[in-house]
């Protein structure tokens, strides 16, 4: 009996675990029992005649609350809890159902119900009846977490709505994350802004409600430029209302992530203060908080500035002890230093930390002055308090400059050292790892010398922006001098460091444009992993630097691990490359074909050819793993040529059977830019009877932005041959209307990452519609890949998409199976 095949197993084709060849049905079942026992999800294997369970792994048994042997031989319908499950298996018994993916319930012996996600797939074994694989994944923890999250969100919303202040929460860029009803009332927001998401509209409305919109906008800009700024100010509205605004930064893991604004209506309070100012003159006009006490330090009067400083209303302050409102060093009555100063000098002064009524704290300078009566005894004390927030903020700014790079604003070497030391301590406690990347800009000295230091500074600022954009918030980017940057990737292993390094290389390879000049830059990256490549700060940076120089010696523009890891990675790539070359010669590589259908007629009009490789040692190797290695080694050139010859041969065979389709072939950037690509394709087409119009080359967007003039020339040559040209994964790379207009493109392909969550995801739905409308406005056809369900198909149909491909119709299959499927669909 040949190896089993699993029809819905992604686009990797037939499952062929190793070289196992079960000789009979019992061996086949035993084989699958061994396979599923190692899976982390529950799996049942059900025979298709009596629908009895023939194999079950330990995880499935635990979900049913039984031992695995108890499940063997049990009719699967006996385990059905909901009517839908029973109906499905009845459909299976009648031969009318094949696959199922849904959530359902399982009942354990004690009556406990377990919510699971379940997928049922039909699996074929050569020369033996097919079986059904039932995959089960426990969803109990996820549902509990979602319930708890909903509860927390509801409690947070209730808290916001219960406060008497208007609350507005934004991100660092001013994007609105939420506000309460009191905020809407204070600012008189119209219904249109309450029912629709319009951040810009809300901000414009608020500015328009103020007496000085220009000053209000300028103040907001100042706040957005200072993520750490804490501010209290007053806003006058056009209708006479006065609001007190308090803005504080939000923090997560020590970093600012947003800002909270609270607004309080102080119209009446200010009116009272105005009366007090008229009556008290200098007392009321003072910007400093002033409180007058009796000889017992109980407050008898307070100026308006005191309210702002303490957060207490004047009425609340009267009768309170001064030391309760403005905590001093010890109690006034028992502090010898203060008492002696008041007795001998008549005054005392010192810095204190003022705790406001709302719980916030501000630094202030406190002064006490003794007023004596006619007998020389204390009659009153006057307390002066000055807000030192701006002074302290200036100190913090000075400290910030000591820890950051003046040019880019990134952490400097001092701050980087502190963060790496923290990461080392954390990793030791948690027995985890992290990565240090050393980046050097290739040939930056040439730019600095030829265009000047000011231009070079602008380049470094843009480089810093691009690097930071590739990292997570928990990671650190530091400039340690010149054109050298060091990155700290928290809790990152070698795989995570490699992924980040590749993303950095890709971003840095994009064109630069500064002061009207366009140019290209590259970088070399060295990687060190804690603790394998060093357990100290100096060792990690030194080893990452050493790895970077190894990259420069190899030719720049790449990344490399510190020597031990780099050698291991190199050996792995060499092994895969060697196996790939052998596989092509020994016919272990083949093409599978995924149908492409007309959305309006639902008929097969084309097929995409996809490379598949099964190795005796490594098993099924994903194209995502071997294609990059083939491109780096240059083996993609003969591999791509073989794929084109195979597609032409297959197209000839299908044409002879009356199956006339457009055949799509992916072309890599390395293959496309190879000097002999167009000429070799011309020779292949001359030797084939297949019309060039039946060949469609799928090109990535990155191909079109490299060597634009040469690319345009080649595309025109291909179009002149009659070959169709399509852009693969449109929108995931460097999308530009310029190349769509100039280049002879025939079709756009919507990437499956945008199709996966439609129509539920509004962003993906909007992007998909935008791509379709853009293509049609340029007279291009549109095909969507990764269509897996009917709702996605219906959405695309309504949006005007022309074609689709995906599991809804079929995964990529062998040529003969593809032909039978087309003939079957055509006969309907």
The domain segmentation of the chain, as residue ranges, is 5-138, 143-265, 268-391, 404-561, 573-826
Separation between Cα atoms, residue 348 and residue 340, nearest integer Å: 9
Region 394-405 average pLDDT:
73
Statement: residue 141 has pLDDT above 90 = no
As given in the structure block, the two tokens for residue 357 are 């009524």
The CATH code for residues 573-826 is 3.20.20.450
Instruction: Identify any residues that bridge with 133 across adjacent strands, giving them in sequence order.
Output: 45, 121
* Cα 138 to Cα 116: distance, rounded to the nearest angstrom: 4
Class of domain 404-561: alpha beta
Nearest of 731, 759, 756 to residue 806 by alpha carbon: 756
pLDDT of 664 strictly over 90: yes
pLDDT tens track for 502-545: 999 999 989 999 888 888 888 999 999 999 888 898 889 989 99
For residue 326, name the pLDDT band (cuts at 50, 70, 90). Answer: low
Q: What is the pLDDT of residue 618?
A: 81
Question: Tens of pLDDT along 17-45?
Answer: 333 444 566 777 777 788 788 788 889 88
pLDDT tens digits, residue range 744-769?
A: 889 999 989 899 999 999 999 999 99
Q: What angle do CA 219, 224, 230 make, to 5 degrees?
A: 75
Query: What's the angle, vertex CA 113, arms to CA 107 and CA 116, rounded to 5?
Result: 90
3-class secondary-structure state, position 320: coil
Encoded tokens for 292: 């007058």
| Domain boundaries 5-138, CATH class | alpha beta
pLDDT band at 91 (very low <50, low <70, confident <90, very high): confident
pLDDT for position 438: 96
Cβ pair 785, 804 in contact under 8 A: yes
What's the pLDDT score for residue 6?
A: 39
Query: What is the DSSP secondary structure assignment for residue 585, as one 8-state letter?
Result: H
Chain segment 537-576, per-residue pLDDT in tens: 888 998 999 899 888 877 888 999 987 654 445 556 677 8
Question: Which CATH class name applies to 268-391?
Answer: alpha beta
pLDDT tens digit sequence for 144-171: 777 777 777 666 666 666 677 888 899 9
Say how many CA atoms lie within 13 Å of 635 toward its Cβ. 18
Using CA atoms, how far apart are residues 472 and 489, in angstroms rounded to an integer? 8
Burial classification of residue 25, based on how many CB atoms lie within 10 Å of its CB (0-12 exposed, 13-18 middle, 19 or more buried)? middle
pLDDT at 5 over 50: no
User: Region 430-454: what's the mean pLDDT?
Assistant: 89
Q: Which residues contact 591 (CB under 8 A, 6 or more apart)?
A: 609, 610, 611, 612, 643, 646, 647, 650, 815
Question: pLDDT tens digit string along 611-649?
Answer: 999 888 888 888 888 888 888 778 889 999 999 999 999
Q: Are 143-265 and 268-391 the same fold in CATH?
A: yes
- What pLDDT, on a 0 to 100 scale, did the predictor assign at position 158? 66
Q: So what's the pLDDT on residue 307?
A: 81
Q: What is the pLDDT of residue 48?
A: 83
In the chain, the percentage of residues whose pLDDT exceeds 90 is 28
Mean pLDDT on 490-512: 92
pLDDT value, residue 434: 95
Instruction: Return d(Cα 297, Cα 117) in angstroms, integer.
Output: 70
* Mean pLDDT (whole number) for 52-67: 87
For residue 371, what pLDDT is reported? 84
pLDDT at residue 99 tops 70: yes
Least confident of 197-206, 381-390, 491-500, 674-683: 381-390
Looking at residue 128, its pLDDT comes to 65
Fold of 143-265: Beta-Lactamase (3.30.450)
Rounded CA separation 823/556 (Å): 53
Residues ≥6 apart with Cβ < 8 Å to 171: 177, 257, 258, 259
pLDDT at 231 over 50: yes
Is residue 785 very low, low, confident or very high in pLDDT (cuts 50, 70, 90)? very high
If we measure between CA atoms, which residue out of 45, 43, 8, 44 comes closest to residue 26? 45
| Helix, strand or coil, per DSSP, at residue 522 | strand
For strands 299-302 and 289-293, give the pairing. antiparallel
- Is residue 819 within 8 Å of residue 659, measured between CB atoms? yes
298 secondary structure, DSSP code = B
C-alpha distances in angstroms, 603 versus 569, 598, 794, 804, 825? 46, 5, 15, 10, 7
CA gap 540, 530 in Å, rounded: 7
Which of 42-46, 64-68, 123-127, 163-167 is predicted with the least confidence, judged by mean pLDDT? 123-127
32-38-42 Cα angle (round to 5) = 80
Q: What does the pLDDT read at residue 375?
A: 77
Query: Residue 598's pLDDT band (boundaries 50, 70, 90)?
Result: very high
Q: What does each C-alpha distance from 141 to 92, 119, 153, 695 come to in angstroms?
A: 31, 19, 18, 50
- Average pLDDT rounded to a whole number, residues 449-462: 88
Q: Are 59 and 44 in contact (CB under 8 A)?
A: no
Q: Work out the burial of residue 391: count CB atoms within 10 Å of its CB; fewer than 13 is exposed, 13-18 middle, 19 or more buried.
A: middle
Over the chain, what is the mean pLDDT? 83
CA dist 200 and 194 (Å) reads 13
Q: What is the pLDDT of residue 795?
A: 94
């Amino acid at each position: 009996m040949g190896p089993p095949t699993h029809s819905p197993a992604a686009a990797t084709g037939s499952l062929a675990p190793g070289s196992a060849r079960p000789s009979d049905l019992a061996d086949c079942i035993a084989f699958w029992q061994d396979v599923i026992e190692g899976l982390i999800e529950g799996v049942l294997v059900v025979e298709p005649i009596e629908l009895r369970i023939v194999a079950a792994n330990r995880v499935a048994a635990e979900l049913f609350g039984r031992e695995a042997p108890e499940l063997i031989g049990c009719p699967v319908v006996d385990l059905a809890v909901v009517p839908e499950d029973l109906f499905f298996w009845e459909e299976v018994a009648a031969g009318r159902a094949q696959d199922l993916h849904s959530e359902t319930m399982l009942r354990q012996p004690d009556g406990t119900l377990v919510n699971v996600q379940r997928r049922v797939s039909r699996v074929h074994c050569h020369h033996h009846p097919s079986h059904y694989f039932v995959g089960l994944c426990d969803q109990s923890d996820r549902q509990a977490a979602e319930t708890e999250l909903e509860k927390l969100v509801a409690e947070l919303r209730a808290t916001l709505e219960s406060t008497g202040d208007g609350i507005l929460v934004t991100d660092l860029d001013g994007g609105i994350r939420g506000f309460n009803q009191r905020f809407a009332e204070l600012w008189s927001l119209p219904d249109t802004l309450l029912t629709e998401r319009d951040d810009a509209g809300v901000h414009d409305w608020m500015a328009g409600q103020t007496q000085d919109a220009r000053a209000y906008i300028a103040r907001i800009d100042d706040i957005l430029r200072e993520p750490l700024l804490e501010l209290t100010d007053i806003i006058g509205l056009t209708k006479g209302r006065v609001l007190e605004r308090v803005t504080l930064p939000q923090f997560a893991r020590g970093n600012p992530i947003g800002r909270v604004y609270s607004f309080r209506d102080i119209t009446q309070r200010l009116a009272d203060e105005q009366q007090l100012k008229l009556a008290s003159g200098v007392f009321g006009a003072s910007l400093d908080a002033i409180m007058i006490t009796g000889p017992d330090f109980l407050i008898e009067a307070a100026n308006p500035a005191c309210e702002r400083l303490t957060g207490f209303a004047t009425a609340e302050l009267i009768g309170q002890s001064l030391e309760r409102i403005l905590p001093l060093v010890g109690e006034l009555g028992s502090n010898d230093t203060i008492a002696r100063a008041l007795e001998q000098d008549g005054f005392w002064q010192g810095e204190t930390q003022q705790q406001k009524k709302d719980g916030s704290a501000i630094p202030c300078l406190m002064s006490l002055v003794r007023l004596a009566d006619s007998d020389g005894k204390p009659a009153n004390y006057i307390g002066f308090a000055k807000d030192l927030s701006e002074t302290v903020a200036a100190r913090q700014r000075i400290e910030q400059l000591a820890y950051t790079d003046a040019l880019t604003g990134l952490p400097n070497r001092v701050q980087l050292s502190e963060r790496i030391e923290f990461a080392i301590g954390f990793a030791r406690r948690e027995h985890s790892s992290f990565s240090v990347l050393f980046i050097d800009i290739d040939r930056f000295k040439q730019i600095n010398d030829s265009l000047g230091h000011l231009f070079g500074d602008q380049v470094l600022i843009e480089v810093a922006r691009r690097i930071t954009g590739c990292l997570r918030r928990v990671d650190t980017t530091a400039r340690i001098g010149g054109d050298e940057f060091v990155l700290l990737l928290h809790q990152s292993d070698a795989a995570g460091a490699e992924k980040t390094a590749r993303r950095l290389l890709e971003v840095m390879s994009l064109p630069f444009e500064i002061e009207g000049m366009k140019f290209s830059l590259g970088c070399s990256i060295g990687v060190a992993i804690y603790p394998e490549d060093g357990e100290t700060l100096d060792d990690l940076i030194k080893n990452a630097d050493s790895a970077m120089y190894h990259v420069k010696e190899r030719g720049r523009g790449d990344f490399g691990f510190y020597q031990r890891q780099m050698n291991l990675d190199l050996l792995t790539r060499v092994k895969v490359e060697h196996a790939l070359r052998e596989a092509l010669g020994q016919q272990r590589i083949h093409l599978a074909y995924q149908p492409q259908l007309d959305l309006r007629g639902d008929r097969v009009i084309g097929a995409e050819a996809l490379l598949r490789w099964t190795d005796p040692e490594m098993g099924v190797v994903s194209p995502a793993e071997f294609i990059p290695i083939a491109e780096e080694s240059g083996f993609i050139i003969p591999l791509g040529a073989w794929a084109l010859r195979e597609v032409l041969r297959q197209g000839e065979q299908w044409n002879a059977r009356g199956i006339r389709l457009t055949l799509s072939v992916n072309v890599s950037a390395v293959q496309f830019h190879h000097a002999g690509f167009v000429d070799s394709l011309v020779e292949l087409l001359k030797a084939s009877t297949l019309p060039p119009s039946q060949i469609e080359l799928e090109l990535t967007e990155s191909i079109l932005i490299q060597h634009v003039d040469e690319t345009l020339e080649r595309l025109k040559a291909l179009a002149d041959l009659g070959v169709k040209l399509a852009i693969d994964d449109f929108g995931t790379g460097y999308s530009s209307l310029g190349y769509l207009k100039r280049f002879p493109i025939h079709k756009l392909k919507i990437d499956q990452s945008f199709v996966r969550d439609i129509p539920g995801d509004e962003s993906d739905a909007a992007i998909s519609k935008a791509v379709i409308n853009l293509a049609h406005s340029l007279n291009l056809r549109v095909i969507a890949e990764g269509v897996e369900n009917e709702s996605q198909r219906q959405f695309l149909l309504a949006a005007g998409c022309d074609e689709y491909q995906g599991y809804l119709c079929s995964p990529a299959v062998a040529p003969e199976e593809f032909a039978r499927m087309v003939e079957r669909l055509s006969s309907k």
